[in-house]
Structure 1
Amino acid sequence: MIAKHRNKLPQSGDRQFLTDEGLETWLSFHERLEIPLFAAFTILDSRQGRAALDRYMVKFGKTAVRQKMGFIMSTPTRRASSRWATELGITSATLKDMHQQAILYLHSLREGLETYTSPFVLNGVLGPREDGYNPNRQMCVIEASEYHAQQIEWFAEFAADMVSASTMTYVEEALGIAKAAKRGGMPSVISFTLETDGRLPSGQSLSDAIRQVDTETDETAAYFMINCGHPARFIDVLKEGGRWTKRIKGVRAKVSPTCHEVSDNAWQPDDRSPEYLASQYQELGQVLPNMTIMGGCCGTDHRHIGAIGAACANARTNRPANPCLQCRNAASASDL
């Protein structure tokens, strides 16, 4: 199979894209499904799980079409790597088959929803080997590259358009994924999760992490994202500015500004106003000049994504015209 949407990827232009929300929390809280080890790919084994995934994806796809935005369709594979499969008693052969099932499912769904004004991109999701907020053991770059290469090879074989590393907590694992994706010929995205102080769980600053990945890979990653953090956590960091902020094209924020531990142990998601979160995205758009990808994470749902998409589309329409060349050069010089 050959990926046919490579010329429609988010990095190929300035089209706006929506993403989904936090799949695992939605399945647990809204669908009341048991998700062992929070491994969402296991729902592919049941009729009930597939029906839930249909409802989930179709809502977001229709929202993107209605707002004439692109849609990044993500596979439910954040915990479909070998470490988690072993804990679940799933063999490598079965795991590969489930990757194929996930991608074929999204291919078929795309055919029924995609329009000319709303291209759908099939995104193969990679997650951290350890916990997405508090890694118990960190890998070196070589180990991380070897570990994640298997999934990347499957995504390439089954014709995903791109791969994304979600909830990255330390830079070595992100570097390993970027290097493995380059070897596998797959466009890659690195998405870091942030603590309440705007830093990675490892303690490294976001700016240093992005610069390190770019420096050590010759800017192999197509772009960077921030996920599973509330905008209040990191907007002040972004306001510091610099060239590194231009490498961030997307944000998938969670609803709650509380720490990961508090929100993860909550009985119910923190259901705050979709309009309020959308206003936070509008503010982010003022400090992230290349932000064209908007989505959600823990606690959000299709209402939040719809409000975010509408707010960001309106903000983009009302932006002033591009400045003259002299002004752009002056702005670029100020980043040095």
Structure 2
Amino acid sequence: METDLIFNHGVELPEFAAFPLIDNSDGRQRLRDYYEDLIQIGRDTGAGVILDTPTWMANPDRAKAVGYAAEDLPRVTRDAVALVRSVSNEHADAAICVSVQIGPQGDGYAPGMASAKLAADYHRPQIAAAKEAGADVISAYTLGSAAEAIGISLAAQELGIPAVISFVVETDGKLADGTTLADAVTQLADTANPLAIMVNCAHPDHIANGFDGGNWEVKLAGIVANASRQSHEELDNAEVLDDGDPDELSRQLADLKGSHSGVRILGGCCGTDLRHLRKIAERVAAT
């Protein structure tokens, strides 16, 4: 959503933070329109839809850069859930999951937190706010370490809300700290066993570099892929959007779903927009 808003709609998102949109009427309307479009894709293709709050950066370290204090953030999460739930309630006949999006403590392209306990303590306030607000799940995206993923998942278990946990890999298919995707998924599954384990913010070619044919691959439940084949460093410095090829991306994701029996969640990350998501849903529905 962020790259779509910035490059395709000319919306300024300082520090790449989308959650401040919750605090103004124009921003809320943009989010509402986006959710409505996603729901329509679901209706047209028969796919269920996960509506994520725009709260990937709503943690104390990252929100500080856009003027939000730690004590502001539970309210932000609650308000975000209220907005998404209000849209969902208008489509009671649709298959919709309301998710609070959680991001890493630091840069999504850097190694994540090294301690599961510290990660659980750090992310617990946002997870608690998600639970209090009535979200269906929390979805932690772009995690660069198994420890941070485990901590978030354990905190969610403690608070009684299901967790979707997603790792990010580099072009070689490994996490930023050098951990293989196989090891990260296995550690998380064996230690915390969240509702779903995914990988995001990498092109299918790069994700495929992390596959080794091992039994762990059946534990992978979702792929939220970049349209761009650029490295994370190139994406960080990009001044022009690389939106790839929606048809190619949909074909690659459908193929990955077909070859990985556990995959049931598909989506788009950097460089993607509603065109890509519609193509993905249409192609999967046709297979």
* Normalised-by-shorter TM-score class: over 0.9
Structure 1 equivalent of residue 218 of structure 2: 246
User: Could you tell me which amino acid in structure 2 is paired with residue 258 of structure 1?
Assistant: Q
Structure 1 equivalent of residue 196 of structure 2: 223
Equivalent residue runs for 1:30-41 within 5 Å = 30-41=8-19
1:236 CA displacement: 4.4
Structure 2 equivalent of residue 169 of structure 1: 144
- Given the two structures, how large is their TM-score scaled by the length of structure 1? 0.82
Structure 1 equivalent of residue 127 of structure 2: 152
Structure 2 equivalent of residue 296 of structure 1: 268
Equivalent residue runs for 1:1-336 within 5 Å = 23-115=1-93, 118-135=94-111, 138-217=113-192, 219=193, 221-238=194-211, 240-315=212-287
1:11-65 per-residue CA deviation (whole Å, 9 max, x = no partner) reads xxxxxxxxxxxx2212211221221221211011222211221222111111011
1:267-317 per-residue CA deviation (whole Å, 9 max, x = no partner) reads 1221222111111112212321121111100111111111111111112xx
User: Could you tell me which amino acid in structure 2 is paired with residue 204 of structure 1?
Assistant: T
User: Could you tell me which amino acid in structure 1 is paired with residue 13 of structure 2?
Assistant: I
1:114 CA displacement: 4.2
Look up the SS of the partner of 1:167 in the other structure.
strand
Query: Partners in 2 of 1:91 and 1:108 — Cα distance?
Result: 26
Look up the SS of the partner of 1:113 in the other structure.
coil
Structure of greater relative contact order (alpha carbons < 8 Å, 6+ residues apart) = 1
Query: Partners in 2 of 1:278 and 1:244 — Cα distance?
Result: 24
Look up the SS of the partner of 2:9 in the other structure.
coil
Check the 8 A contact 2:46/2:285 in 1, yes or no: no
Query: Partners in 1 of 2:150 and 2:285 — Cα distance?
Result: 33
Look up the SS of the partner of 2:239 in the other structure.
coil
1:242 CA displacement: 2.7
User: Could you tell me which amino acid in structure 2 is paired with residue 215 of structure 1?
Assistant: D
User: Could you tell me which amino acid in structure 1 is paired with residue 153 of structure 2?
Assistant: A
User: Could you tell me which amino acid in structure 2 is paired with residue 183 of structure 1?
Assistant: E
Query: Partners in 2 of 1:291 and 1:213 — Cα distance?
Result: 17
Structure 1: unaligned runs, 5 residues or longer: 1-22, 316-336
Query: Partners in 2 of 1:279 and 1:256 — Cα distance?
Result: 14
Query: Partners in 2 of 1:141 and 1:292 — Cα distance?
Result: 27
- Given the two structures, how large is their TM-score scaled by the length of structure 2? 0.95
Check the 8 A contact 2:144/2:168 in 1, yes or no: yes
**Radius of gyration: which is bigger?**
1
Look up the SS of the partner of 1:98 in the other structure.
helix
1:214 CA displacement: 1.9
Aligned-pair RMSD on alpha carbons? 1.5
User: Could you tell me which amino acid in structure 2 is paired with residue 82 of structure 1?
Assistant: P
